[in-house]
């Protein structure tokens, strides 16, 4: 059969598909899963090639069971992946009161108030807002300071910003399984960024350091200027 433009298009699309999947999975547990599956398939293939019938029968049957087990174990990653794929169709988040947010963060950091703030983008965070208190209040530095003042009922948990409003506070975010060497506030920031496209800011109560979790990655402590630049990029995008 001659090689036609359709074959070329086919190859290109498959290459783009694998490249996009690779980028979506980079830095997540799913990448290790893919490596594991490839090794498994390699051993299975070799066993069949060498005629090791018992081993290849065993691996063949275990594969069906394993596929279901993987779906259960990697449910958070799969969900995150599907959400990222579907994101392109969602409406864009409204604009953010950037300077108020930065002022609020700098005060929280100076005062060592632990804080967790998610910026909603295309993935709706309504289900997490429902775990806390819906506020729908205009974002201001003073409101952030008040919300995360230790001892107030809403300081525990995370706040969700929707555009220039504090949509909810006192919310429970999903915890990441990653070994960070940091506590649960940071794990919750990373966890939400794994299953959504939210930018999640975390201020450490211990050190006052501000970090940003995005796409399943947690930044090192950031200076306000670097944060301003990153947030501006997001607002422009």
Ligand X SMILES: Nc1ncnc2c1ncn2[C@@H]1O[C@H](COP(=O)(O)OP(=O)(O)OP(=O)(O)O)[C@@H](O)[C@H]1O
According to the binding rule CB under 6 A, does residue 98 interact with ligand X? Answer: no
φ, ψ (nearest 5 deg) of residue 31: -65, -40
Candidate ranges 33-41, 84-92, 139-147, 169-177; the one touching ligand X (CB under 6 A): 169-177
Interacting stretch for ligand X, rule CB under 6 A, among 7-15, 36-44, 51-59, 167-175? 167-175
| C-alpha separations of 31 from 28, 56, 113 in Å | 6, 25, 35
Segment near ligand X (CB under 6 A), from 27-35, 118-126, 177-185, 213-221? 177-185
Residue 114 lies near ligand X (rule: CB under 6 A): yes
Residues 6+ apart with CB under 8 A from 12: none
By beta carbon distance, the residue nearest ligand X is: 183
75 belongs to the binding site for ligand X (CB under 6 A): no
Q: What are phi and psi of 181, to 5 degrees?
A: 75, 15
Q: Which of 31, 43, 98, 175 binds ligand X (CB under 6 A)?
A: 175
Q: Does 152 bind ligand X (CB under 6 A)?
A: no
Least distance from ligand X to the Cβ atom of residue 189, Å: 8
Q: Could you say whether residue 84 binds ligand X (CB under 6 A)? A: no
The vertex-112 CA angle with 108 and 116, nearest 5°, equals 55
Q: Does the protein bind ligand X through residue 150 (CB under 6 A)?
A: no
114 touches 145 (CB < 8 A): no
One character per residue 183-202, x = contact with ligand X (rule: CB under 6 A) = xxxx-x--------------
Distance CA 164, CA 138 (A): 6
Q: Provide the Cα torsion 86, 89, 90, 93; round to 10°.
A: 120
Query: Which residues here bind ligand X, judged by CB under 6 A?
Result: 114, 116, 156-158, 172-173, 175, 182-186, 188, 204-206
């Amino acid at each position: 059969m001659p090689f036609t433009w359709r074959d070329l298009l086919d190859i290109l699309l498959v290459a783009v598909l694998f490249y996009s999947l690779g980028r979506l999975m980079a830095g997540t547990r799913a990448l290790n899963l893919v490596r594991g599956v490839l090794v498994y398939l390699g051993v299975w293939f070799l066993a069949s090639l060498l005629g090791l019938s018992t081993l290849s029968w065993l691996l063949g049957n275990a594969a069906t069971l394993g596929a279901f087990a993987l779906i259960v174990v990697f449910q958070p990653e799969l969900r995150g992946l599907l959400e990222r794929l579907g994101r392109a169709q969602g409406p864009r988040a409204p604009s953010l009161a950037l300077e108020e947010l930065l002022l609020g963060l700098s005060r929280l950091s100076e005062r060592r108030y632990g804080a967790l703030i998610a910026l909603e983008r295309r993935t709706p965070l309504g289900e997490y807002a429902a775990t806390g208190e819906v506020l729908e209040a205009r974002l201001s530095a003073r409101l952030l300071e008040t919300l995360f003042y230790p001892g107030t009922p809403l300081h525990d948990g995370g706040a969700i910003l929707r555009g220039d409003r504090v949509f909810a506070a006192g919310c429970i975010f999903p915890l990441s399984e990653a070994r960070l060497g940091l506590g649960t506030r940071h794990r919750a920031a990373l966890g939400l960024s794994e299953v959504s496209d939210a930018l999640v800011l975390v201020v450490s109560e211990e050190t006052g350091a501000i970090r940003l979790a995005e796409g399943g990655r947690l930044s090192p402590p950031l200076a306000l200027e670097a944060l301003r630049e990153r947030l501006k990029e997001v607002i422009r995008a």
